[in-house]
Structures are given as structure tokens and as C-alpha cells.
Chains A and B, each alone.
Chain A
Amino acid sequence: MREMRKYREIMHVYIKSQLAWRADVVFNMLFTVAKILFAWLLWGMVFRERNTVADFTFHGMLSYYIVSSFLSQLEMSGGISGEISARIRNGTFSNYMVMPVSIEGYFAAMEVGVVLFYLCFDLLAAMVWIFVFRIQFLFARSAVVLGCALLMTVLGLFFMVQLNYFLGILTLKYEEISTFLMIKDNLVSLVTGTIVPLALFPEGVVGVMRLLPFYYVTYLPSMLFTGRCAEEAVRGLVVLGLWCVLMQWAIVVTWRKYRVKYDGVGV
């Protein structure tokens, strides 16, 4: 319990850090509003001539769009790898090493602080606009599916924190990790269908992608929240859970092996 209070306070500090800049708060809310407005206009035009697109109704599509863009906006762990890498290279990573906390726990708490901040303000902005545009939000009706979606979102965000932490500490070995980060970003885009729609891939390739964790980070939870793909929920949780265990193992091994290479130069 006492241990948890450390991380809760770290989380508070990062929420407070976000609140220090008022312009950031305002612009972030405006950005959320602009995205919903844009989606409403765009899909409004598309649905003027038809009732459904790929089995989605107008309100179903908007619901999916709002949830998936909301979840993508919450996934901000990319900064972790960059920060760890920069701090290892300039010697200020020592700041974390001298504190009696788990460094991974520190970064996870930091991420929760940042995400909670955006969650509150973005949720507020999204709800106001859903009300203004009278979007009939479509949610899954089954409490089990909703629970799975929620758990999958948390696990997915945690996995991304783990992955970015892992890539960050690889700096201890490789000194330069931008290639790893590029591979990760492209893989995430590919698996979540951002580069090429998943429907264009052969079934076998999509099957392989479903074994990767990225499919379950924002795409599947968004589908589950809006009442689709319920049959994939349990399998998704198992796959993602296994990836989290595997990643934690990789972090522990990498840290033990390469920690001694840290030379803290630059200061």
C-alpha cells in the first residue's frame, strides 16, 4: 500500500505539470472538438446518399470514430522511449537511478498522470459535442464485453508503456534507437490498418497480425466498445496478457544485462 502511494504521488505530479500550461489545456480541448466536427461533416456527406457503409450506420460510424480517435489520443507512451534514450545519452538518467522507486514504475505512473489529464479534458469535450450534434452513441450492450473492452484498453496502454520503456533502455546497448522506433511505428500503423486497410490483406496475414499485440491496443477495444467483434474479446485479452508477461521478462533481462553499461557521461 505504502509502495503504491509513491506512484500515486508521481502520477499527481505529472497531472500538475500538465495543468501548469493553460494554453495546452485549451488547445487540446479544441483539437478534440475539431476532430469530432470534422468527422461529423465528412461522414454526414458520405451518408447523405446511403444508409450504411461497410455495415456501419452514420451514428455507428461516428461512435467508432470518436472511440478509436479518443483511444489513439490516449496512447502517448511514444515519448517514454525518446525521453529515456535522451537521458541515457546525456547522463541525466541518473536522476531516476538514485530514487528508491522502480524506474519502470516511475514511467508507468508518469504515463498514467498524463493520460488521466487528457482523459478528463478530452472526455469532457467529446461529451459536450456528442450532446451538441445529437450523436446517438452506440455502445456494446453486454456488460461482459464492455468489461473486456475496458480491461483490454488498460492492458493495451500498459503494454505500450512496457514496449517504449524496453526500446528506451536498449539505448544502454545500442546508443541509438531511432531505427527501432521507426520499425515499431510502422508495425503499429500496419497492424492497426492505418497504412493499408486490414480488409485488403489475405486472411492468413490478418491471422498473424492478430497474434501481435498492436491489434488489441486501440482497434479491437474500439470495436468492442461500439458493439462489434465480441467473439474476439477473450482471445484478445489472453494474447495481450501474454505479450505483457513476455515484455516484462524482456525488460528485466535487458536491464540486468545492460545496466552496467550506463556511464552517466555528459554531466
Chain B
Amino acid sequence: MTKVREWQRMDNRKRGKDMNIIETRQLSKTYRRVVKREGLGGSVRSLFRREYEEKQAVRDMDFSVREGEFVGLIGPNGAGKTTLIKMLTGIIAPTSGEIQVMGFCPNDLKNDFKRQYAIVMGQKSQLFFELTTNDTLRMFQEIYGLKEREFQETKAYFTELFGAEKLLDVQVRTLSLGERMKMELMAALLHNPRILFLDEPTIGLDAVASRQIRGFLREINQERGTTILLTSHYMEDIRSLCDRSVVINHGQKIYDGETGELFEKYQRDRQVTVSFDQAVERTELPDGAVLVEETPYKKVIRVPREESGALLQRLMGYGPKDVIVEEDEIGRVVERIYGEGENREER
């Protein structure tokens, strides 16, 4: 019976793929913060005359997400990503604009709404550190009103997926960061939410743990049809998981489209590494190409993407032993993406 209901729910999710599960219009959030001049005098003055400044964290954001999508939110620190997620989950109230998530106004904080989503913040834990994950899961079973069979089936599914059999009965405080993140995800996904909000889930994790977490998220999105909204500073997370990316800077959306296209757009250079059997003293380079590293037997050249063919043709003339063509370094791509946002701001 539980299985049948589960499949029906998955089916509904797949049928609802064309529906917007999240929609915002002209959404804005302004924080007010106290400003104080430095020193004791400034503190005394602030006691009698408090000065405030306003910081607009999100500005006139129009944004929508369809059911089943995996969307990445990218932006530098303070861009407004976390503020947007907090508004979508109802944690904070917007200053102006409209917001609708699964048909609910999030800040009404209705229990029916809260039962349908989950949020995992990399720097914040839902688990009880002195207890075991099993203890927390049992509490969440009751909080989300899960029947025993449904609870056991979901727990078994995630235990297998995360390879977490031996982790459920140990104190959470003794788990490694990667293990703890798996347990956080398990606790968050126990009630099979329609939307999963993830704020920096791989922060501080090593490469192996990050790759594992990415694998789990991909499976949850594809197999369970869970809509996922992910913020991360690690572009590898965004590129390998999200079909769609939204770039935010200074509270405004500066890109909303396919992740592949985003990287294509900003990936302007190629790096070509060429090695020779015999010493080659000089190579002729096409316009725009820059020698990054040079020895008689090896040259590393950065070249604009559209000139890479011409460069390779010239290099072939020297009879190379080996040629490696690499994509632009991801850090440079990110700098360009954010840099474009800055320029728009200035304009």
C-alpha cells in the first residue's frame, strides 16, 4: 500500500514537471542594520542617537522553478543567495514582492507547507550531537507523521544509498564532516519532500566526500523526482548537478539559463600543452595567444577559443610528441561571470 502511494506520488511529480513549483515576482528583501562610528565616543553617541543603514539583499527578483528541476544558485558572498532561500522557506519575510512555493505563501509558516520541503544548510545542523542519528530520525518520523512502514522503507533506502549502516547507531558528534552531511541529508529527506533546499552542502568536505554527496543528490533528483535548489561556491557542484543555473550578484539575477550555456559563454580560452622530442626554441603564435610556460621541450599556451584550431595547425608543423587541450580553469570562468555582474552594476 505504501509502495503504491509512493509510486503515485512520483508519478504526480513527473506529470507536474511543467508546473511552476516556485514562483516569485518583484521579490525584494532589505535588511536594516545599525551603523556606529569607531571608538568609545561613537558607542556613547550611538546610545543616544542610533543610526541605521539599509542593505538591499535581494532586488526585484523574478524567478520560477518547475517541479523536478535541479537548479543551481551561484553568486559571490553577500550576493543574496541565502536570503533568497530563507524567503522561499518562510524563515524570513520579504520586504516587498510576491512569493509562492507549492501554492503557499512561505512566511505564513503553515505546517502543511513545512511538511513538503526540507532544507539543509552546510553550516547548520538539525541533528542532536550527543544522540545517534537513529534517535533524530525517530523524532522526525513523529514530527512529519510518517507511518512505521513508510519510515522503515525510506530509512532503508537512504541507508543503502549512503552506505550508512554503521553510522546510524553512533553519537553524531563522533562522525566526520562527510559522514555527518550524509546523516543531515538522510534526516532531511526522510519525509520525502517535494523540494529540497541546499545551502552549501559540500562546504568543508574533501573531494571524495563531495563527489559522494553529488552522486546522492543526482539520484534523489532523478529517482525520486525531488526538486532541488542548490547554492554552492564550488562550481564543480553546479556544473555536474544542475541543468539550470541562476547567477545572482548584488541581489539581482544576472543570468538564468542552462548551466552548459553559462560555462560555454564564459569559457573563452583553451590551454594547450605541447611537448616535443627535440628542442624547439621558438614557436609562432596566433593573435591573442599567450605563452604561460616555456622550455625547449614543452610549451604551455593560453589561446582564445576561436584561435585554438589555428594554433594547433601551427603546432603540428613542429612535429609534437604530445598535445593536451584543456578547458579554461574554472576559477577564471567564475571570475568572469561575477565580473560581468559588477560591470552591469556600474553601468
Binary contact track A79-118/B, C-beta < 8 Å → 1, others 0: 0000000000001101101111100000000000000000
Contacts of A92 in B (CB 8 A): 124
Complex CA–CA separation, A79 to B171 (angstroms):
24
Binding site of B, secondary structure by majority: helix, strand, loop or mixed?
mixed
Within 8 A of A (CB), among B125-171: 126, 128, 130-131, 135-136, 138-139, 141-145, 171
Instruction: Evaluate contact between A13 and B139: CB separation under 8 angstroms.
Output: yes
Binary contact track A5-27/B, C-beta < 8 Å → 1, others 0: 11011101100110011000000
Complex CA–CA separation, A22 to B124 (angstroms):
27
- Whether B14 sits at the interface, judged by CB under 8 Å, is no
Q: Contacts A13-B139, A94-B86, A100-B144: A263 and B115 contacting too (C-beta < 8 A)?
A: no
* Interface band, chain B: 20 to 34
Shortest distance between the CB of B319 and any CB in chain A (Å)? 58
Contacts of A8 in B (CB 8 A): 142
Q: Contacts A17-B130, A267-B123: A262 and B92 contacting too (C-beta < 8 A)?
A: yes
Complex CA–CA separation, A8 to B185 (angstroms):
24
Contacts of B131 in A (CB 8 A): 13, 16-17, 20
- Whether B119 sits at the interface, judged by CB under 8 Å, is yes
- Whether A260 sits at the interface, judged by CB under 8 Å, is yes
Q: Contacts A94-B91, A260-B93: A101 and B130 contacting too (C-beta < 8 A)?
A: no
Shortest distance between the CB of B85 and any CB in chain A (Å)? 10
Q: Contacts A21-B130, A94-B86: A263 and B92 contacting too (C-beta < 8 A)?
A: yes
Instruction: Evaluate contact between A5 and B31: CB separation under 8 angstroms.
Output: no
Contacts of B109 in A (CB 8 A): 97, 259
Q: Contacts A20-B131, A97-B90, A98-B114: A265 and B31 contacting too (C-beta < 8 A)?
A: yes
Shortest distance between the CB of A197 and any CB in chain B (Å)? 39
Task: Report how many residues on chain A are interfacial, defined by Cβ distance under 8 Å.
Answer: 28
Instruction: Evaluate contact between B86 and A13: CB separation under 8 angstroms.
Output: no
Within 8 A of A (CB), among B72-102: 82, 86, 89-93
Instruction: Evaluate contact between B128 and A13: CB separation under 8 angstroms.
Output: yes
Shortest distance between the CB of B134 and any CB in chain A (Å)? 10
Q: Contacts A98-B89, A98-B119: A20 and B124 contacting too (C-beta < 8 A)?
A: no
Contacts of A147 in B (CB 8 A): none
- Whether B121 sits at the interface, judged by CB under 8 Å, is yes
- Whether A44 sits at the interface, judged by CB under 8 Å, is no
Complex CA–CA separation, A9 to B131 (angstroms):
14
- Whether B107 sits at the interface, judged by CB under 8 Å, is yes
Chain B residue nearest in CB terms to A93: B91
Complex CA–CA separation, A10 to B130 (angstroms):
15
Chain A residue nearest in CB terms to B87: A264
Shortest distance between the CB of A18 and any CB in chain B (Å)? 9
Shortest distance between the CB of B275 and any CB in chain A (Å)? 49
Complex CA–CA separation, A100 to B86 (angstroms):
16
- Whether A2 sits at the interface, judged by CB under 8 Å, is yes
Q: Contacts A94-B91, A262-B91: A267 and B121 contacting too (C-beta < 8 A)?
A: yes
Complex CA–CA separation, A12 to B91 (angstroms):
27
Chain B residue nearest in CB terms to A7: B142
- Whether B111 sits at the interface, judged by CB under 8 Å, is yes
Shortest distance between the CB of B133 and any CB in chain A (Å)? 12
Q: Contacts A16-B131, A16-B135, A20-B171: A6 and B143 contacting too (C-beta < 8 A)?
A: yes
Shortest distance between the CB of A65 and any CB in chain B (Å)? 33
Shortest distance between the CB of B143 and any CB in chain A (Å)? 5
Binary contact track B286-299/A, C-beta < 8 Å → 1, others 0: 00000000000000
Contacts of B139 in A (CB 8 A): 9-10, 12-13
Instruction: Evaluate contact between A264 and B91: CB separation under 8 angstroms.
Output: yes
Within 8 A of A (CB), among B195-220: none
> Using a CB–CB distance below 8 Å, which chain A residues touch chain B?
2, 5-6, 8-10, 12-13, 16-17, 20-21, 91-92, 94-95, 97-101, 259-260, 262-265, 267
Q: Please name the 9 residue pairs, one residue from A and one from B, whose CB atoms are nearest each other, closest first.
A: A9-B142, A100-B111, A260-B93, A100-B114, A20-B130, A94-B91, A6-B142, A100-B115, A9-B139
> Using a CB–CB distance below 8 Å, which chain B residues touch chain A?
31, 82, 86, 89-93, 107, 109, 111-112, 114-115, 117, 119, 121, 123-124, 126, 128, 130-131, 135-136, 138-139, 141-145, 171
A20-B171, A21-B130, A98-B91 known; 13 new pairs, CB 8 Å cut-off, are A9-B139, A9-B141, A10-B142, A13-B135, A17-B131, A94-B91, A94-B124, A97-B109, A99-B143, A100-B143, A260-B93, A264-B91, A265-B31
Q: List 7 A-B contacts (CB under 8 A).
A: A9-B141, A13-B131, A94-B124, A98-B119, A100-B115, A264-B86, A267-B124
